[in-house]
Structure 1
Amino acid sequence: MKNLIHPLFIVLLAVIPSVSAETLYVDIEVPDINANPYHRPYVAVWVETPERKGVHTLAFWAEQADWYKDLRQWWRKIGRKNSPNYDGVSGATRKPGSYQLSWDGLAADGIPVQPGDYILHLESVREQGSREYLRQAIVLGKQQPQHYQLQGSAELGLISISIK
């Protein structure tokens, strides 16, 4: 059988820097809120360039499409543009608890993102509740462990971010 991978392609992969050797981990706490009625929050977690160009959605927890636009930051910057690509990261809303997300540095098209500065965004909104938006500057391709912590004040609890 003939080799299907062209040698030039292998050389290009070796020369082009990427961040695929790193993994971004995000631990999210959905706090237990004493509210009646209580509705589980819609949550979006995504990565953008410093110029606010959407790179990848790590998670999108929502139930009904009519409510997607209530995650205002996510919807305006990345949500309404890439709706066909959410099957792998979308899911039902989550009950209070801790959840871990991970991302291997590949964009939605499967190509590794370039090393450099990025912004990790977290947004949460709850029907008959409030909304919360947090962000953290990160560096991908640094090849050194990084750790960050954010503390939500209403709809998000402790957020732990690490790149290994």
Structure 2
Amino acid sequence: MKRSWISRRNFVYRTVGFLLTLLAGRGLAQARLAGMKLDITFEFVGGGFRYRRPYVAVWIENAQGLPVRTLAVWFEQSRKGPRWLNELRRWYHNNELNETVSGPTRMPGRYTLSWDGKDDKGNPMPQGDYYVCVELAREHGPYQLFREKVTLAQSPFQRAYNLSGEKGDLKEVSLSYDRQG
């Protein structure tokens, strides 16, 4: 009787070894982003007669464009429910509304949100490429989407984007990636 090179015992040993290797590699990659944070500061302007405060969504996407973490969703909810939330086109298409990150609309100004490198479930994310997304939509006003690719590793960085030349309420976005302090 000829024995197969894959016995039950061999299969179990190889499978367990493979799974342990995957888990060990995943743990190392996750540990590399631990202790780092990404601050996203954005400013939007507006005002005037009949000015409606914009709906705002800020979130992080992975390199494939899939949502990783929603940092904030600011919208107005009336008796009819969250009206015009679907005007945040990219965020609405890919995410679910989460009460822990949602809140009322804000007046024009400068705001800062921080991402601690974890996904919506609290799992640490590995180093790599991510997209920072800031989306604004305003009733009787413009729609604007800021989406910028960043590489998150161990080296800190700071970037500023002046958007005042574009048509919309979003005037500036700055990113600061550094150790949590």
| TM norm structure 2 | 0.75
Partner of 2:129: 117
Partner of 1:52: 65
Partner of 1:98: 110
- 4+ residue segments displaced more than 3 Å: 11-15
Partner of 2:160: 149
Among all aligned residue pairs of Structure 1 and Structure 2, give the percentage whose two residues are the same amino acid. Answer: 35
Residues 14/21 of structure 1: CA separation in 2 closer, same or farther (3 Å cut) = farther
Partner of 2:16: none
Partner of 1:63: 76
Partner of 1:108: 120
| TM norm structure 1 | 0.82
Residue 30 (structure 1) shift: 1.8
Q: Which has the larger radius of gyration?
A: 2
Matched length: 148
**Aligned ranges for residues 1-164 of structure 1 at < 5 Å?**
15-18=27-30, 19-31=33-45, 33-64=46-77, 65-78=82-95, 82-83=96-97, 86-140=98-152, 142-152=153-163, 153=166, 154-164=168-178
Residues 50/13 of structure 1: CA separation in 2 closer, same or farther (3 Å cut) = closer
Q: Distance in 2 between matches of 1:12 and 1:157?
A: 43
Q: 2:43 corresponds to which letter in structure 1?
A: E
Pairwise CA RMSD: 2.0
Q: 1:22 corresponds to which letter in structure 2?
A: M
Q: Deviations over 1:89-119 (max 9, x none)?
A: 2111110111110010111111101110011
Residues 110/34 of structure 1: CA separation in 2 closer, same or farther (3 Å cut) = closer
1:52–1:77: 8 Å Cα contact kept in structure 2? no
Q: Distance in 2 between matches of 1:76 and 1:90?
A: 16
